[in-house]
Structure 1
Amino acid sequence: MGAWLRLVGGFAFYGDRVETTEVRVAAGRAARQDYPRTAIAVLAPRADGVDATTSVLAQASGRLPELIPLRHHRMSESAFAFYRGTAGVMAADLADGSHSGLVVQLCGDAHLSNFGLFGSPERRLLFDLNDFDETLPGPFEWDVKRLVASVELAGRSIGATRDERRRACLGTGREYRMTMQHFARARAIDVWYARLDAKGAEQAAAAALGHSAARNVRDVAAKARRRDHLQAVDRLTEVRADGRRRFRSDPPLVVPIDEQVFGVDAERFEAGLAGLVDLWRDSLPPDRRRLATEYEVVDLARKVVGVGSVGTRAWIILLQGANPGDLVVLQAKEAQASVLEPYLGASEYEHHGRRVVEGQRLMQAASDVLLGWQTTQGIDGILRDFYVRQLRDWKGSVEVEQLRPAGLGAYARLCAWTLARAHARSGDRLAIAAYLGTSSRADEAFAQFATDYADRVEVDHAHFVDAIARGEVPASSR
């Protein structure tokens, strides 16, 4: 294994001194001795008896049992959907092989659907990573492999040819490598200033595929700008007969707290969720804490989110300011241990909500002004970690399954640039750039890994669907 580097603020430290460029470049090249770039392509065989369906069923532990069939149904819809819900399976597969030892803050689930648009505090629409539930420090190539494999799987799901998929995967690896080379030459502070806004994403798409691709990004951006607090309030709430605004019921996707049966502990549970908001304020920086004190809790509801996250506890919280029209919808999402922890070790943060928030702040160009964390006690008396953010704040994403084959490569390259920028902020960009080098060797290895891993996922997905058909795995669309 290559030497693991201690990272502080994106720099490689030995003792208390930042090492020179020459030493950091040499460390990257030395990593090739233990982990040649061709080794990136190697997919280690699974140990006897290891089965993806069994691993998925094991993930039900600690989740809401009534939502598990919905999670399985969503995962069964395609091999790509199955892949979205099996970050833990892939983590185990990656841990079975060797690695570069060049550490970054991993997203942990860097597939195509976990990138998108959101509003920055300066009210600019940015393109960035948008899911950090599994974030943890680890070898940079784990994120790149997950991204490139998702490109191959997405290509298969939309009918792209073998040549189209290979070009898209090679382009993803190349974009990551070239972007890391660029950031290796940049000043450290410029790496932290770097960001891709919606206009830049539109121009990149136009340069790659012409105005049709640019129009796709422009349409997503326009939709994202409409996904603000007013839309969230309009779609998720209603004014009831008593004149109070409350969340609209849409079970099992949205279930207001007054429709849930909690027994004698209902009041304690509701007070605990309201207390989560009070205590969440303490995790915010002082200026944003002052902003948060302008609001009080009006209503609470459980809301199903995503694919892999279905079954974890996710609440939406309606806040109201002094003016009845001053409404904000927060999401409090349960933060469990990262699926990477069994293989990379525990986070330095004991609180998993804080682990998610700190990872997000490190990797994103700009983060939600109300992003914070807290712990609350459930109806079962168990303390659980949560992270809290605005539910909708100019958020939008490309529907990967609706991409045309010609647009897959351009979108994947946007994601690769973004991932490289995040890794350059959190890891030793000089060492990673030196390891990847200037040839296409690493690009080809990532593309080969993507093909082989997609083959494995398709087999796993077929077994999963068969298990549902046999009644061994519960699945339901509602």
Structure 2
Amino acid sequence: MTTASDNPGKKIRDKVPRTSQGNFKLSSKRPTILQTISAANHDRVKDLIPIRMSRMSVSPFAFYRGTADIMAHDLSFLPHTQLQVQAMGDCHLMNFGGFATPERNLIFDANDFDETLPAPWEWDIKRLATSFVLAARNNHMRETDAQQMAVDMAVAYRNGIAEYSQMNTLELWYMKFEIQDLLNKAHNEKIKTMLKDAMDKAEKTTPQKELYKITQSVIGNFEIQDQHPLIYHPIDLVKQKDMVQSFLNFYSNTLQDDRRFLLSGYHVADVALKVVGVGSVGTRCLVALLMNKKDEPLFLQVKEARTSVLEAYTGKSKYTHNGERIVQGQRLVQAASDIFLGWSTGPENRQYYLRQLRDRKIAPDVEHFDKDVLAAYAGLCGRVLARAHVKTGPGDVISSYLGKADIMDEAIGKFAVAYADQTEKDYEGFLKAIKAGKFQVENG
């Protein structure tokens, strides 16, 4: 018979009680909001920083999406079990969504890994839970419902950890959350309709349609249309031909041989900088249009890879190239990854990672989710995160720590509300800094 003393997960409860995971207290070493955001703006494209500030000022939830560094600092001072997984790092509900596998099936999974690094599993779940509280408040839900969203996610996570840690290892790695299966199992008609609409929209998102959407024909050739300040051309392809080819050669060598062969049939037709997201605004994010001999387009997103916000609290990544850190972390966590996922180094030794742009992507329209839809989405994200953590960490030990009772679920809900309150205070401080002229804003 296994006793508590023989169970490593239960033994950890003596040092880190599950109820303690619900506590939140600011460290006395916490920098000011002004200091943190100013540091995060360092080395970004100067002209784009006001757009970043503007997007972050929209709401506390938008502010939260742009400040993973603030929460990473705060979490590092809180109790945790020392059990590490391949953490997403910026694990909020907008960093999950649908996309096509190489087999062209639509699946739901985590889809943003800019901050990924081995780190305590609690950091991901607490950031995800807080995002649900903020999203519920943003959608004007009752406070009790907002907290329940975090609890629902934590319940799904705990049950997922228990289930997946008992699965055959290969079956777990093959497992995918296919959107057609989610549709078949959905009981709520509103959720069924949303899934059907999302699938239909995704099926229509093809490279050919993207070509006509964001390009224009110039003397028989396609080029990406400028839309200042959100899309513009920062380089001259003719004058910087050698640099572009060198960048592409480096990238090609990070792909599997078959994918390298596929890529070799395309040439770069145009490259433009494209502002994306909230937290990424100001980093060097580009869109590359490649064409083959049949005039078929391939769009690649080329995204600057900076040091993870977690690294200051976990130790340096084993990868010297941040693009490789992101790519390898993504491959570990996702059930299936884009065949063009790779990395490269550009001018000034800046590091980048590459992937297809909008490959049948489904982005959650969270601002229009009602209580039932957001709760279902919380459960789905919780299970996806659980699978990721069992794949890359000690799932059985985490499961025994969590146990079968709702103690940890309630603690996560309590923490999420407390941290959402703190985020709203930080947001107000941010708005005051804008009003005082400390940060410039520009719509975009």
- C-alpha contact 2:232 2:274 (8 A) present in aligned 1: yes
Q: 1:106 aligns with which of 87, 91, 94?
A: 87
> In structure 1, what is the Cα distance between the partners aligned to 2:197 and 2:32?
41
Task: Give the structure 1 partner of residue 211 of structure 2.
Answer: 233
Q: Which runs of 4+ in 1 moved over 4 A?
A: 21-25, 266-270
Are 1:118 and 2:99 counterparts? Answer: yes
Q: How many residues get paired?
A: 443
Tell me the residue number matched to 1:323: 294
Q: CA deviation at 1:56?
A: 1.1
Find the residue that maps to 2:355 and give its secondary structure.
strand
Asked whether 1:458 is paired with 2:424, we answer yes
Matches of 1:316 and 1:77 in 2, distance apart? 26
- Native 8 Å contact 1:72 1:476 kept in 2: yes
1:404 to 347, 370, 375: 370
Out of 317, 321, 338, the position equivalent to 1:368 is 338
Give 2:252's aligned residue.
281
1:162 to 139, 143, 146: 143
Is the CA contact (8 Å cut-off) linking 2:4 and 2:10 kept in structure 1?
A: no
Does structure 1 conserve the Cα–Cα contact (< 8 Å) formed by 2:84 and 2:119? yes
Q: Offset of 1:328 from its aligned partner? A: 0.4
Q: How does 1:82-93 map to 2 (within 5 A)?
A: 82-93=63-74
Q: Report the TM-score, using the length of structure 2 for normalisation.
A: 0.96
- For residues 359 and 412 of structure 1, the distance between their equivalents in structure 2, rounded to whole angstroms, comes to 23
**How far did residue 286 of structure 1 move?**
1.1
Per the alignment, do residues 100 and 211 of structure 1 end up closer, same or farther by CA in structure 2, a change over 3 Å counting? same
Equivalents in 1 of 2:256, 2:380: separation in Å? 31
Instruction: Name the CA distance, whole Å, in 2 between partners of 1:361 and 1:337.
Output: 18
User: Deviation per CA, 1:1-54, whole angstroms, max 9, x where unpaired?
Assistant: xxxxxxxxxxxxxxxxxxxx9999822222212211111111122325622232
Q: Secondary structure at the match of 1:217?
A: helix
Distance 2:432 2:197 in 1: 38
Task: After superposition, give the CA deviation of every residue in 1:129-169 in whole Å (9 maximum; x if it has no partner).
Answer: 01000000011010000000000000000011122112211
Q: How many Å apart are 1:424 and its aligned residue? A: 1.1
Cα offset, 1:467, TM superposition: 1.4
Q: Tell me the equivalent position of 1:27.
A: 8
How far did 1:105 drift?
Answer: 0.1
1:475 maps to 441
Farther off after superposition, 51-60 or 292-301: 51-60
Is 1:65 the equivalent of 2:35? no
Which residue is equivalent to 2:323? 353
Q: Which runs of no fewer than 5 residues in structure 1 stay unpaired?
A: 1-20, 261-265
SS in 2 for 1:283: coil
* Distance in 2 (alpha carbons) for counterparts of 1:102 and 1:109: 18
Q: What amino acid maps onto 1:221 in structure 2?
A: M
Partners of 2:255 and 2:4 in 1: how far apart? 38
1:200 aligns with 2:170: no
Residue by residue over 1:263-304, the C-alpha shift from the partner in whole angstroms, topping out at 9 and shown as x without a partner, is xxx866553234212221100011111111111111111111
- Please tell me whether the aligned partners of residues 147 and 416 of structure 2 are also in contact (alpha carbons under 8 angstroms): no
Contact 1:53 1:460 in 2 (8 A): no
> Are 1:88 and 1:340, in contact at CA under 8 Å, matched by a contact in 2?
yes
The aligned amino acid for 1:213 is I
Distance 1:47 1:272 in 2: 47
Q: Deviations over 1:107-137 (max 9, x none)?
A: 0011010000000001100000010000000
SS in 1 for 2:442: coil
8 Å CA contact retained: 1:298, 1:318: yes
Identity value in percent: 38
Distance change >3 Å, CA 104–CA 22, structure 1 → 2? farther
Which of 396, 399, 422 is the matching residue for 2:388?
422
Q: In 2, are the aligned partners of 1:24 and 1:430 still within 8 Å (CA)?
A: no
8 Å Cα contact 1:332-1:389 kept in structure 2: yes
- SS of corresponding position for 1:59: helix
1:203 Cα offset (Å): 4.1
Q: Secondary structure at the match of 2:35?
A: helix
AA at the equivalent of 1:400: V
Q: 2:402 aligns with which of 428, 436, 439?
A: 436
Q: Which residue in the other structure is 2:193 paired with?
A: 215
The answer to whether the 8 A contact 1:158-1:405 is kept is no
Contact kept in structure 2, 1:316 and 1:332, CA below 8 Å: yes
- Specify whether residues 338 and 22 from structure 1 end up closer, same or farther in structure 2 by C-alpha distance, changes over 3 A only: farther
RMSD of the alignment, in Å? 1.8
Q: Does the C-alpha gap of structure 1 residues 244 and 157 become closer, same or farther in structure 2, counting only changes over 3 Å?
A: same
